Structure 1
Amino acid sequence: MDSDGHADPPADDTARADGSGHRVPEGQAPEEYGDHRGHGEHDEPEHEHRSRWPFIAAIGAASLYGGFAFFIFGAETELVPRPIGIGLAVVGAAALLAGIGGWLNQAFLAPAREGQEPHKSRGSYVSTTMLFLTTDVSTFGGLFIYYFFIRVGTWPAAELPPLLGSLVVINTTLLVTSSITLHYAHEALGHGNRRRFLTLLCATLALGVVFLAGQAYEYYEFIIAEGFSLTSGIFGSAFFGLTGLHGFHVALGIGAIAILCWRALRGYYGPDRDTSIATVSLYWHFVDAVWLFLVVVLYVGASI
């Protein structure tokens, strides 16, 4: 006990203060011992990782695909009323868009509005995107397998319309060019060239919109002029199933690129802040690759 009446510390006590009143043994870092400063703040981001939006999007996608299946089944057999399939598809599409929109808002838009970085690391987002694209291969693969079974059966299909034309060439050129502009936009960002980055990113968005408009015009020509639609036999279901699924992916990609443009105009991106640019680029290049394979297999392959 000292002269002020306080007890002396034990002779073997080599602890030191960590700045918050806790005694930390000498030689041990505060985090190893259990630093409680801001404990609640550090735990909070972990809870934000648990999002309900991917689950909602998955249910929506299943309902959308199931609705199309019921619609085609009902059109061919009349065992299921077609409005059931249409209603299920509409509800599924709404749930899918809500899930994707909610996830994008939670992961990217909300942090951008608050001037914060996304809670996950760049590597986490990129690896998750790669995992999603790997699973998405099976989605397209199921429809391609369906088409391949048609090809090894009775061919040519009686309802086969003229597929190859200048519109397919133009659309393919637009989509390939958009992939190139997005690549060089990302490269310009890495070099700190903001003006070139914004120009190429906005050009990518415009090219994607024009491509989607071209596909809508192609559908108009087939359905109105040729009388060729989703219910025009097995080839019709394969053609509109594959091109429609791809067009849906393009529409989602356009929405994602539009968000990138909005954030880029706000000055959010930089050479070391490109997480969403990297993930959306992976998705867009995947959509581009699927289209090239689709053109070779479906448009060219069905015409020879």
Structure 2
Amino acid sequence: MSTQESHEDHGHHLPAVEDWPRGFGEASWWPFVTAIGGAGLYVGAALYIIASGNSGLLPAMAGPAVFVGSVGLFLVGIYGWVYHAFVSHFWSRDTSANGSLALKWGMVAFLGSELATFGAVFTYYFFIRAGTWPPQELPHLLGSLVLANTALLIASSFTLHWAHVAIRRENRRQFILGLIVTLVLGAVFIAGQVLEYYEFIVNEGFTVTSGIFASAFFGLTGLHGLHVSLGAVLLGIVLIRALAGQYSADRHVSVSTASMYWHFVDIVWIFLVVVLYAGAVVGGTGA
């Protein structure tokens, strides 16, 4: 690596350039930063549950503090990772089909791991659902708020697809408009989920420590909300790059991969609403 190239890499926030083994591609610690932030989310949730048990071992704010700090670390890692992988040398890359296909298959592999993560929590829910039902008094789950949120998220998939089709047709104005509408719908969905949590926790006293169904409910909906938030961050990065003119009919791989992720969380939500919200009240007293 030449001195000039090394200087350019450092100018693009690429850490640990000199000590990276030769032959392993460009140096980057951002994936490790992202992984630490992601792991911290689970640690924060665990600390919150332990502190809620009135054991006196931990202060009440330990879990939330670790969780918030981990969210920040995770988002910083995602920014650095995406910038390193896609932005810093965007115009100097070619548009080979092999490179595009590799990135798309990489996203498929990532979504496979995400499917396994959701599958583990769904398995826990199905396990308790097979027993005595309901295991506790359930709140009113399937209300107008969750139905409106579902409609918004489904609509956002259509607007994102509309935007994706637009850039493949070199319609930059429609592409940017579609991204903006998708981000707005996603933000409203997240706000709706926060409002739902507020109503459950404050107005009905239904929290993650209320019982085994509550732990499954908040585990699944919280995990999904985190993924929607991450998807919004990714789409925000795509929008910033779109405003900078970094996409065309030949260069839109990151739009494709971000779209795959967004459609994935949309499908998971539909399954979640059918199984968790509607399925929970079947044969129970939650409705």
| Class of the TM-score when normalised by the shorter of the 2 chains | 0.7 to 0.9
1:96 to 66, 69, 74: 74
Q: Which runs of 5+ in 1 are unaligned?
A: 1-37
User: Deviation per CA, 1:196-227, whole angstroms, max 9, x where unpaired?
Assistant: 22221211111111111111111111111111
User: Number of residues paired by the alignment?
Assistant: 262
For residue 239 of structure 2, the aligned residue among 261, 274, 289 is 261
**Quick one: structure 1 residues 286 and 68, their matched pair in 2 at CA, closer, same or farther if it must change by over 3 Å?**
same
The letter of the residue matching 1:57 is T
* Structure 2: runs of 5 or more not aligned: 10-16, 18-22, 283-287
Are the equivalent residues in 2 in contact too, given 1:164–1:299 (CA < 8 A)?
A: yes
The alpha-carbon deviation at position 159 of structure 1 amounts to: 3.5
**Bigger CA drift: 203-212 or 64-73?**
64-73
Question: In the TM superposition, what whole-angstrom CA distance separates every residue of 1:56-112 from its partner, at most 9, and x where no partner exists?
Answer: 212222221133123224434737525444444344333322221210121233335
Give CA-to-partner distance per residue, 1:108-157, whole Å, 9 cap, x none.
Answer: 33335xx4448992222211111111111121112111111221223213
RMSD value over aligned CA atoms?
A: 2.5
For residue 256 of structure 1, give the secondary structure of its aligned residue in structure 2.
helix
Secondary structure of the 1:222 match is helix
Letter in 1 for 2:257: T
Matched, 1:128 2:106: yes
1:247 pairs with 2:225: yes
Judge conservation of contact 1:253–1:283 (CA < 8 Å) in 2. yes
Contact 1:198–1:261 (CA under 8 A) maintained in structure 2: yes
Q: Is this contact kept in 2: 1:159–1:228, CA < 8 A?
A: no
Stretch of structure 1 that moved more, 170-179 or 80-89: 80-89
Q: Distance in 1 between matches of 2:26 and 2:106?
A: 13
Which of the pair has the greater relative contact order for Cα pairs under 8 Å at 6+ separation? 2
Structure 2: which amino acid aligns with 1:71? Answer: Y
2:45 matches 1:58:
no
Contact 2:95 2:251 (C-alpha < 8 Å) held by counterparts: no
Percent pairwise identity: 50
1:63 counterpart letter in structure 2: G
Cα distance in 1 for partners of 2:73, 2:214 equals: 27
Matched residue, 1:216: 194
**1:77/1:139 CA distance change after superposition, 3 Å:** farther
Q: 1:109 to 1:92 in 2, by over 3 A?
A: same
Counterparts of 1:262 and 1:152, CA distance in 2: 47
Larger Rg: 1
What amino acid is aligned across from residue 127 of structure 1 in structure 2?
A: W
Match of 1:203 in 2: 181
Please give the secondary structure, in 2, of the residue aligned with 1:124: helix
- In the TM superposition, what whole-angstrom CA distance separates every residue of 1:31-65 from its partner, at most 9, and x where no partner exists? xxxxxxx9x97xx9966544221122122222211
Distance 2:185 2:107 in 1: 23
Mapped to 2, the partners of 1:235 and 1:143 lie a distance apart of: 12
On the 8 A contact 1:108/1:118 being kept in 2, the answer is: no
- In structure 2, how many angstroms separate the alpha carbons of the residues matched to 1:166 and 1:252? 25
Is the aligned partner of 1:293 residue 2:271?
yes
Matched, 1:191 2:151: no
Rounded to whole Å, the distance in 1 between the matches of 2:55 and 2:81 is 38
SS at 2:89 equivalent: helix
TM-score normalised per structure 2: 0.83
The alignment partner of 1:257 has SS state of: helix
Structure-2 change in CA distance of 1:159 and 1:71 (3 Å): farther
